[in-house]
């Protein structure tokens, strides 16, 4: 490109101007920022943020949202007899939320399985009755045989003893005859053959007597005991069978009584007045509803009847606030379902340990509390309030009708004592010793050197440096450096 020879002296000037203009703009911006910071510092120095200490109503409250429920619930269970893991089916059930009086219908279950069980148990009971009577008859026969044999034994033993006496007499006569024959044989009157005959008769009489004595001993010691033991064993066997069948009969009777009682419990009526709440459950295999056609495990709660006069609000309070609450503290309850209604109540119970579900889900521990609702404070809305509705409650922790109050962030502590900074009309800052009566994290009720109408400085830490009051606020960077030094 060809240069213009008419403007050779202007080219360096334009080159210097290209770098000078941005430099001048940057310098102007820096000066403006410095001036703004200075003006702001002067403004902060001249006008600190203050709050006028005044006497007013002071209240310290804890607020929370919760669910309305009843502290006294009548649980209605399915009390039908559990027959072989049978689950009764719901035939009819009242609508949820219905207000019922004592004695009103609630729910009815199917009873076909119970009726079948009654037929089966009745047949088995009849069979057991027949076996029981048979066993009693056989036991009576065994006892009669036992008594008959004892009588026969006495007769038999008497006969054998009589025969023994006859044999003893024969033996005596045989002995006499043998002695006489021996004497006559010596005289030669009786032959040796006759003598041998008399000796044989003696031996025969002795053997007959010994045999009779052995028969008597055998009958008394062995045969009699054996037969009696047999009869006694037979009686024992039949007695045991009687006991068994009596047990079976009693069990069948008890089973039948349970079935008949279950028939009466198939239709359940309200034990007390209240709103009907169906006890639906959530299981690992899905929801278990309380409705027509659904099966119910015997023993399960199917309906809950909260007492409408014993209502309460349950909620969860963070751990930093639960220490402020005590049982018996008054509370105000606002119902979401009834705008404008403010009921009264008091804290009725507090859990010692945090809620398990909330403990697993959050790092902030929360404790369950219950606030009992004053039933009379509901007025004409008593029947409109139902368990499960939402409510907001406010628990009064502390209250002073007249108290000198200042902002909570206007208080600071130094060397174990509590102070606040006061700003006079000349914007001169000085310290006051105070004592905190109560603090709700927004306002603090104080007592001490502070007087009503004085202006206290909010965030006094900005006007303190190593215990000395300064005229201008300390920057956040300086505060962080001071905290690191501490």
Is the CB of residue 58 less than 8 Å from the CB of residue 438?
Answer: yes
Same domain, 335 and 470: yes
> Last residue of a domain, which of 274, 306, 338?
306
**Residue with the two structure tokens 């207000």:** 99
Same domain, 136 and 256: yes
In the three-class reduction of DSSP (H, G, I as helix; E, B as strand; rest coil), residue 9 is classed as: coil
> Last residue of a domain, which of 227, 262, 297?
262
Same domain, 248 and 270: no
Rounded to whole angstroms, the Cα distance separating 454 from 420 reads 11
Q: Where are the beta strands (DSSP E) in 319-442?
A: 330-335, 342-350, 366-373, 390-407, 411-414, 417-423, 429-439
- The predicted pLDDT at position 23 comes to 63
First to last CA, the chain: 70
Task: List, for residues 180-239, the tens digit of each pLDDT value.
Answer: 888 888 887 878 888 888 888 888 988 988 998 898 888 888 888 888 888 899 999 999
- The predicted pLDDT at position 25 comes to 63
> Last residue of a domain, which of 262, 278, 297?
262
Rounded to whole angstroms, the Cα distance separating 455 from 44 reads 16
Q: Is 21 contained in some domain?
A: no
Lowest mean pLDDT among 1-5, 17-21, 463-467: 1-5
Is the CB of residue 354 less than 8 Å from the CB of residue 319?
Answer: yes
CATH number of domain containing 336: 2.40.30.170
Residue 3 has pLDDT above 50, yes or no: no
Residue 13 binned pLDDT confidence (cut-offs 50, 70, 90):
very low
- Mean per-residue pLDDT, 352-372: 74
Range of the domain at 91: 73-109+266-306
Rounded to whole angstroms, the Cα distance separating 262 from 80 reads 5
Task: List, for residues 20-45, the tens digit of each pLDDT value.
Answer: 666 666 677 776 666 555 444 444 44
Q: Is 450 contained in some domain?
A: yes
CATH number of domain containing 80: 2.40.50.100
Task: List, for residues 408-431, the tens digit of each pLDDT value.
Answer: 889 998 888 899 999 888 878 888
**What are the DSSP calls for 224-284, one per residue?**
HHHHHHHHHHHHHHHHHHHHHHHHHHHHHHHHHHHHHHHHHHTEEE-SS-EE-EE--EEET
Same domain, 161 and 96: no
Same domain, 255 and 270: no
Q: Is 344 contained in some domain?
A: yes
Same domain, 299 and 314: no
Q: Is 17 contained in some domain?
A: no
CATH number of domain containing 173: 1.10.287
Tokens of 218: 């055998």
Q: Is 38 contained in some domain?
A: no
Q: Is 206 contained in some domain?
A: yes
DSSP 458: S
Burial state string for 179-191 with b = 16 or more CB within 10 A and e = fewer than 16: eebeeebeeeebe
Rounded to whole angstroms, the Cα distance separating 443 from 456 reads 12
In the three-class reduction of DSSP (H, G, I as helix; E, B as strand; rest coil), residue 440 is classed as: coil
Lowest mean pLDDT among 266-280, 331-345, 373-387: 373-387
Instruction: State the total domains in the chain.
Output: 3
Same domain, 324 and 424: yes
Residue 178 has pLDDT above 90, yes or no: no
Same domain, 233 and 327: no
The neighbouring-strand residues paired with 245 are none
**Residue with the two structure tokens 């334009």:** 14
β-pairing verdict for 429-439 and 417-423: antiparallel
Same domain, 245 and 222: yes
- Percent of the residues in the chain that have a pLDDT greater than 70, as a whole number: 85
Residue 287 binned pLDDT confidence (cut-offs 50, 70, 90):
confident
Same domain, 127 and 166: yes
Q: Is 25 contained in some domain?
A: no
Same domain, 340 and 463: yes
Q: Which residue has the higher pLDDT, 467 or 173?
A: 173
With residue 202 as reference, give the H or E element that holds it: helix 192-218
Same domain, 60 and 89: no
Q: Is 20 contained in some domain?
A: no
Is the CB of residue 479 less than 8 Å from the CB of residue 442?
Answer: no
Is the CB of residue 42 less than 8 Å from the CB of residue 427?
Answer: no
Q: Comparing C-alpha atoms, which of 53, 18, 20 is closest to residue 457?
A: 53
């Amino acid at each position: 490109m060809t240069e213009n020879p008419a403007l050779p002296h202007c080219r360096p000037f334009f080159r210097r101007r290209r770098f000078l203009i941005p430099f001048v703009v940057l310098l102007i911006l820096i000066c403006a920022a410095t001036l703004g910071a200075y003006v702001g510092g002067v403004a902060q120095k001249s006008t600190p943020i203050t709050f006028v200490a005044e006497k007013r109503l002071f209240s310290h409250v804890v607020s929370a949202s919760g669910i309305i429920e009843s502290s006294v619930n009548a649980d209605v269970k399915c009390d039908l007899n559990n027959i072989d893991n049978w689950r009764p089916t719901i035939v009819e059930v009242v609508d949820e939320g219905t207000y019922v009086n004592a004695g009103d219908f609630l729910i009815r279950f199917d009873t076909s399985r119970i009726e079948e069980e009654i037929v089966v148990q009745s047949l088995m009971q009849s069979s057991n009755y027949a076996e029981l009577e048979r066993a009693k008859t056989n036991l009576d026969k065994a006892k009669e045989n036992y008594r008959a044999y004892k009588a026969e034994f006495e007769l038999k033993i008497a006969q054998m003893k009589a025969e023994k006496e006859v044999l003893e007499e024969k033996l005596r006569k045989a002995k006499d005859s043998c002695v006489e024959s021996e004497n006559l044989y010596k005289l030669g009157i009786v032959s040796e053959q006759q003598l041998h005959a008399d000796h044989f008769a003696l031996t025969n009489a002795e053997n007959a007597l010994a045999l009779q004595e052995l028969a008597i001993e055998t009958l008394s010691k062995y045969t009699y005991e054996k037969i009696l033991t047999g009869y006694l064993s037979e009686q024992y066997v039949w007695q045991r069978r009687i006991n068994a069948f009596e047990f079976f009969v009693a069990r069948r009777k008890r089973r039948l009584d349970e079935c008949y009682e279950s028939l009466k419990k198939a239709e359940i009526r309200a034990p007390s007045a209240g709103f009907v709440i169906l006890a639906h459950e959530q299981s690992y295999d899905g929801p278990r509803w309380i409705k027509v056609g659904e099966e119910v495990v015997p023993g399960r709660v199917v309906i809950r009847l909260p007492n409408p006069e014993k209502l309460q609000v349950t909620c969860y309070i963070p751990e930093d606030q639960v220490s402020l609450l005590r049982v018996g503290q008054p509370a105000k309850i606002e119902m979401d379902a009834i705008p404008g209604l403010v009921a009264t109540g008091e804290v009725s119970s507090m859990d010692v340990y945090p809620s398990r579900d909330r403990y697993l889900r959050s790092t902030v521990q929360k404790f369950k509390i219950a606030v009992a609702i004053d039933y009379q404070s509901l007025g004409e809305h008593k029947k409109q309030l139902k368990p499960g509705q939402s409510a907001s409650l406010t628990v009064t922790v502390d209250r002073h009708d007249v108290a000198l109050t200042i902002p909570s962030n206007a208080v600071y502590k130094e060397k174990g004592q509590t102070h606040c900074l006061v700003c006079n009309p000349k914007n001169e800052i000085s310290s006051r010793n105070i004592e905190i009566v109560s603090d709700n994290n927004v306002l603090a009720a104080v007592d001490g050197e502070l007087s009503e109408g004085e202006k206290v400085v909010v965030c006094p830490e900005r006007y303190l440096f190593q215990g000395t009051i300064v005229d201008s606020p300390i920057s956040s960077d300086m505060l962080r450096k001071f905290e690191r030094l501490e």
